[in-house]
Amino acid sequence: MTSPGRFLTFEGCEGCGKSTQIASTLTWLRSAKLNVHEVREPGGTPLGETIRQLLKHDPTGHSMRPETELLLFAASRAELVRQVILPALTRGEWVIADRFHDSTTVFQGNARGLPMEEVNFINRFAICRREPDLTLVLDLDPAEARARALRRPRPVGQKDRLEDLDLPFYQKVSDGYRTLARQEPKRVKLIDASGSREETFSRIQKELCHAFPTLPR
């Protein structure tokens, strides 16, 4: 019999250190001989990667409306869920996603101000009601996260519509995640990401071992 698939998502403001922590988590879980898929949003399928390009870089998308943005994120996710995530979970494998529907709740709902009822409806439809088993939000002071995001090296000549957001936007994103953690305390856990990479990773390991007691310590 295969063990049940587990679905884990990482969330947070830009600059919170998600990529580094996901890489460490993958190495750790794979060293425990688990079969783990890594996916990212928007993207993760050929169609999703095209939508990612539209959302982030394509000049035709530069002045898109928040409603259009919401639907494009949902379209990329609908494809990823049906093509990759659900089949992997059905096979009993693990899936780690770099962002999922909580990003839409927080970025398009809390930060861009779209009505939360509509955002939740579209989210549920896109994900086939398959919520993550556990969501780790890397929680960092918004000013610090923004400063770190601005220090990151960027590809020359490639404009990114979703970067360069102002501090009030970061504040709304951060507040949105904290609200989610209060509303869904069993699924959504805030991880203090203010210390070193090693400190943050050890908090992640602790949370994962608590949620999935068969993991090696």
Residues contributing to the site for ligand TMP (CB under 6 A)? 14, 41-42, 73, 99, 103-104, 107-108, 162
3 state SS of 47: helix
Q: CB-wise, 163 or 192, nearer to ligand TMP?
A: 163
Separation CA 21–CA 202 (nearest Å): 10
Q: CB-wise, 32 or 162, nearer to ligand TMP?
A: 162
Apex 21 CA angle, 16 and 24, nearest 5: 165
At closest approach, how far in Å is the CB of 187 from ligand TMP?
17
Apex 167 CA angle, 166 and 169, nearest 5: 70
Residues 41 and 76 sit within 8 Å (Cβ to Cβ) = yes
Of 101, 135, 173, residue with least CA distance to 22 = 135
Q: CB-wise, 177 or 201, nearer to ligand TMP?
A: 177
Residue nearest to ligand TMP (CB): 107
Q: CB-wise, 161 or 187, nearer to ligand TMP?
A: 161
